Amino acid sequence: MMKTKHVRFAVIGLVLVCTLAAWAKPLSPGSKSKLIAAGEPGWSQWRGPRRDGVSDETNLLASWPEGGPKVLWTAGGLGKGWSSPVFSKDAIYITGDVGKELHVFALTLDGKPKWKSVNGKAWEKPYGGARASCTYDDGRVFVFNAHARLACLNAEDGKELWAVDTAAKYGVAKRVFGHSESPLIDGDGVIVTPGGTKGLMVRFDKKTGKELWVTKPAPEEAANYCSAILAELGGKRQIITCGSRHAFGVDAKNGKVLWAFRHGIKKSMSAAIPILHDDLMFISNSSREKGFSYCLRIDTAAGKVTKVWDSKFANTHGSVITVGGKIYGSSRRNILGWACLDFVSGKIDYSTEKLLLGSSIYADGRLYCLAQSGRMALMKPTEKGFEITGEFALAKDKKDAWAHPVILGGRLYLRFGGNLHCYSIQKK
């Protein structure tokens, strides 16, 4: 009997070792990284066409008058939440918790109500409110709620076309702060990361909800709080994200894990989306155990992934932006305020505490930064520091202005609480 137990334990140990070895498989040699843009024009998904927080808009105001740019309209009654708006050609889509339900709202481009729909239960605590942003594609709106329910809605009237309770189907444990992932579209598929014991990442047919592939779970791995990016990396079209134990890349064709890098802490808190520059990838973690960021090199010639540097810079919900080989974003705990880092060396070029923790996007040579205190600032990065050329109070003395700014069509969109504000920032 004792011998049988020893054999069983040895087999279990061998399975775990083999599974982890598969996760450590290096990338195949290939070209440097390239983000793959959404198939829809404009701002159809969270953080823009490439999910990098960089807008292609130009001819924008270089400075703002006192009190900020002109307000065009404000839409209210959108419920509680921190999701950002996404757009089709003729509508705006945004989520908010109303009572016990998560509501999906469609607005006209001038902020008037068009329709509203429901995708399951609201997230009540901790930090109650809607999390993920919608994703628009080909006449459909995709919404992943805080309880891991993925729904596909008709963009014209909000009617639910199909839905999958991924928590029940893939053995997902409840996340402390709720699922916060914005769905990713790739060709005929919509991808989410339930992080369950029966499936880590899943690709569904975007028209029917049928499972196309599922990534096998790994020991101890679960979903974290960031959204995935789609990129060509190491000669492979892949989906890159952060789980509770690893940063990893999945083959977009079949769901197989191409590479994985284990976080250096036990209780990771990754809400910032990964960003890419040439053959480098930057990942931030803001765990209370040890907040830090690190940079990985995808060595396409040698076919391996190695850590290049790490930093005390610790971004939370706001994510970061890379432009011209520099990293811009806010940090907490070790380094306070907005900072500029060199992507290759990890050196902090400069930082400022004039604006603390928050979210930002980049357009026309400037950063549009929304601090969680409710202060909105227009900042120009220079060789020596940040030059603030405009600011105003979206909300006074708050600690939860967490929605990411959006710029589209010469307009700046800011969400706080149940209101979406639209500002004119185009030069005349």
Q: What is the pLDDT of residue 18?
A: 40
Q: Does a structural domain hold residue 145?
A: no
- Residue 349 in this model has a pLDDT that exceeds 60: yes
- The residue among 178, 171, 208, 205 whose CA lies nearest residue 191 is 205
* Residue numbers of the domain that contains 215: 26-81+187-424
Q: Does a structural domain hold residue 416?
A: yes
Cβ contacts of 168 within 8 Å, gap of 6 or more: none
Under 8 Å between Cβ of 213 and 201: no
Q: Does a structural domain hold residue 131?
A: no
Amino acid in the structure at residue 343:
F
Task: Give how many domains the chain has, as a whole number.
Answer: 1
- Residue 381 in this model has a pLDDT that exceeds 90: yes
Q: Does a structural domain hold residue 326?
A: yes
Write the pLDDT tens digit of every residue in 271-318. 889 999 988 999 987 776 666 889 998 765 555 789 999 888 988 888
Under 8 Å between Cβ of 189 and 203: yes
Residue-wise over 161-176: b if at least 16 C-beta within 10 A, else e?
A: bbbbbbbebbebeebe
Where are any strands of DSSP class E within 252-336? Answer: 257-262, 275-277, 280-285, 292-299, 304-311, 321-323, 326-331
Length of the chain: 428
Q: Does a structural domain hold residue 34?
A: yes
Under 8 Å between Cβ of 287 and 269: yes
Share of the chain above pLDDT 90, in %: 73
Secondary structure letter of residue 188 according to DSSP = T
Secondary structure letter of residue 365 according to DSSP = T
Tokens of 386: 């940040």
Write the pLDDT tens digit of every residue in 106-116. 999 999 999 99
Residue-wise over 210-232: b if at least 16 C-beta within 10 A, else e?
A: ebbbbbebbeebbbbbbbbbbbb
- Residue 124 in this model has a pLDDT that exceeds 90: yes
Q: Does a structural domain hold residue 261?
A: yes
Residue listed under structure tokens 């779970």: 217
Say which CATH number the domain at 364 has.
2.40.128.630
Q: Does a structural domain hold residue 1?
A: no
Residue listed under structure tokens 């931030």: 284
Residue 15, SS3? Answer: helix
